[in-house]
Amino acid sequence: MARVALFADVQNIYYTARETFGCQVNYAALWRHAVGEDTVVAAYAYAIERHDPRQQQFQHALRDIGFTVRLKPFIQRRDGSAKGDWDVGITLDVFETSHEVDRVVLISGDGDFSELLARVQQRFGIKTDVYGVQALTANALRQAADRFVPIEGALLQNNRR
């Protein structure tokens, strides 16, 4: 069995799934799909803290699945969107964990992570998977990954489109 680490950019995936499909990601199904029979060494979900009961319930569900939930304060932009500024935190955790695993699973569509994937592949000789909403995942990120898995179908909850 391979050793795997998962890193979920919750804000990115939430907004891309909502915009594309009008629903949320089924994180339990995604976990099962991404992990299979492998051994999970680390699993982090990066989110923002809004002190909202529904968000807290969602974060609890992520913990029940097996994720360690990392939170940053809520930042409201003028356009109404929220930002958690987790890119550096995700990058550091991926880099610090890569020496312990055979495969990194990044759950995001953010093209800023393409260089990170190339670097950990080169430096640590590991495989990288990206799970993202195909229509809104940066081409550079899809190309940087050893494997791109579109979030669709059974990886979604209550798909309305």
Instruction: For residue range 27-74, list pLDDT tens digits in order.
Output: 999 999 999 999 999 999 999 888 889 989 999 999 999 999 999 987
**CATH homologous superfamily for 16-78+86-157?**
5'-nuclease (3.40.50.1010)
Q: Which residues contact 109 (CB under 8 A, 6 or more apart)?
A: 9, 12, 13, 16, 132, 133, 136, 137, 138, 141
131 within 8 A of 109, measured Cβ to Cβ: no
- Please report the pLDDT score of residue 84 as a whole number: 63
Query: Mind listing the pLDDT tens digit for each residue in 89-148?
Result: 999 999 999 999 999 999 999 999 999 999 999 999 999 999 999 999 999 999 999 999
For residue 53, what are the contacts with CB-CB under 8 A and spacing of at least 6? none
